Amino acid sequence: MRVLVTGASGGVGSTLIGRLSDTGVEVRATSRRPDPQRWPGVDNVASDLGEPRTLRPALEGVDAVFLVSFAPPQVLGELAEEMAAAGVAKVVVLSTIDTTRTEPFVEYNKQRHLAVENAVIDGGFTTVCLRPGAFARNAIRFWARQIREHRSVGLPFPESQQAPIADDDIAAVAVEALTTSALDGQKIVLTGPESLTMREQVGLVGRAINASIDITLLSDAHARALYGQVLPPQYLDLLMAQWAFEVTEPADVTQAVHVVTGRPATAFGDWAVSHRDAFLP
């Protein structure tokens, strides 16, 4: 069996490559700028999901595709055609929990991911849609620099609640989806094992690095200036509204990781310990 992993340079994609390689499956990795030195035993092919024709070399001889939802809507039909022409039988889509939500602020992200899911389903592929909630690695993206430089984190909504999920847990479910028929046709919401406020998450990072991390309450303008450094405008607007909403109720928690893999999802505190170097000077 040969599996193509798109978004191979990302957190989930790179983790999935390692897990698939351990199963004996033949793995091909693709991204805009592949790094053969990172995966010396893996076939690395450059491509751009925004230009589906560039995927032809990567798709050759592939049985299943792990598809990240980066392709713009206007090329989704062409992307499905390229996969079908290559003889791809199964596609596992990395989608988002936002596809299950109804709040107005998620509409942009919801529709973008639903378009990918629907294009794959309509293309006639055996499909599995993985719908993770907040990524644990967002702590690195949003807070690591602040913690390294100042031992503090600025937050607009410290009591906002998420159930952060580790990339490794998503990858473990993806392996099952790609290599077995057990999850065929399913749309699976994936979360971490518990709902935590941002204040609690920062505290667990502090515990992991044996340091006290201060929290500064940010105004809307200051928060947008800070987080706008790492987020495009559409996602900044979405997350600011989402974080405000998430103050009002605990995050949804599912047992899907445990059900699929037979082991509990990774606790955020354990994730922080294993990624502590990212938060150290």
Instruction: Give which of 4, 280, 7 is closest to 135, Cα–Cα.
Output: 7
Read off the pLDDT of residues 163-222 as tens digits, 9 standing for 90 and up. 999 999 999 999 999 999 999 999 999 999 999 999 999 999 999 999 999 999 999 999
- Return the DSSP state at 56: H
Which pLDDT tens digit goes with each residue over 4-42?
999 999 999 999 999 999 898 999 999 999 888 888 889
138-163+193-251+266-279 architecture in CATH? Alpha-Beta Complex (3.90)
pLDDT in tens, 149-160: 999 999 999 999
Helix (H) / strand (E) element for 257: namely helix 256-261
The string over 183-197, giving b where at least 16 C-beta atoms fall within 10 Å of a residue's C-beta and e elsewhere, is beeebbbbbbbbbbb
Please state the pTM of the whole predicted model. Answer: 0.97
Residue 135: predicted pLDDT: 98
Domains of the chain by residue range: 2-132, 138-163+193-251+266-279
Choosing among 3.30.30.10, 3.40.50.720, 3.90.330.10, 1.10.3720.10, the CATH entry for 2-132 is 3.40.50.720
